[in-house]
Each structure stands twice: as C-alpha cells, then as structure tokens.
Amino acid sequence: MSLSPREVFLRLVHGVADGNWNELPDLYGEVTDVRHPMATPESEPLTSRRVLREHFTVPPEARESLPKRRVVDVVVHETADPEVIVAEFAYEFTSPDGSPAKVPCVFILRVRDGQIIESRDYIDPIRTYTARGDLELLIEALRKGAS
C-alpha cells in the first residue's frame, strides 16, 4: 500500500530536518514539477528525481555547517482532490550564533501512488538566510536581481 500525501509530506520535512538527504529523492516521482516561488535568487523548477537527487546532495564537509532544525507547528489541510494537500509548518533552527529562529513554510503537494509528482514550496527567504547567518548573501542576491 502506498503512502498517503500526509505521510509523504511528513517523511519529507522530517527527512530534511534530520539530514536524511540520500532518502529524500525517493519520495518523488521519476517525473515531477517542484517549484520554490519565493526562492531568492530565483530557482529553476526541479523536474525529475535525478535533478532532485542533485538538489538534495549536500557535500560531507558542508553537512556540519548546516543549522540544526526541527519541524514544528504542523497543520495539514486535506482538499477535495485526494492527491493534494496544503501543509503549513515551520522549521525551528539554531542559528550559527546559537540564537533560535523559526522559518514558516507552506507546501502544496500532489502525491500519486505514494510519490510527489508536483509541489509548490513556499519558504520564507528572509528568515531562512537569517537563521543560517547568511543575511549578506540574501542582500547580495536581491541586489543582483534588481540590476
């Protein structure tokens, strides 16, 4: 029996929080359409499991510098379409300086046969860069986008 959209979503966000990078691409279909509409700088759609495997590849030397996070405030909304859910949640981070940060997110997922075939991931870029201690990178990206 395949996983429900809710179960797939929970595996995804907890997998990100736990750093299970190698397992995440298998949550997606071979062909998919994943977009990050709020990404700064803008990002291209992720259209296959192969591309998602690249997206989720974190070099071993970079893994230690990733902020520790946990998933909080999860609310999953079922829709009239049984394949589609709207999920609200937040990642709680410990910033590099040790201060707490919370990044609110909303994901809209279409899951078919236990795999994500379409997703719109809305993640607050300001709070994400701040939590990582990379606010200067966000400012630089915004300046490049304005020119």
Let me know: does 124 contact 103? Beta carbons within 8 Å. yes
The amino acid at 92:
E
Q: How high is the pLDDT of residue 36?
A: 96
Q: Which band of pLDDT confidence, cut at 50, 70 and 90, is reported for residue 146?
A: low
Could you tell me the pTM of the whole model? Answer: 0.88
By percentage, how much of the chain surpasses pLDDT 90?
61
Domain of 55, CATH number, reads: 3.10.450.50
Average pLDDT over residues 50-67: 81
- Per the listing, tokens 């981070």 go with 93
User: Nearest CA to 90 among 113, 71, 110?
Assistant: 71
Domain count, the chain: 1
Cross-strand pairs, 48: 31
By percentage, how much of the chain surpasses pLDDT 70?
93
Q: How high is the pLDDT of residue 94?
A: 79
Enclosing domain of residue 134 = 5-146
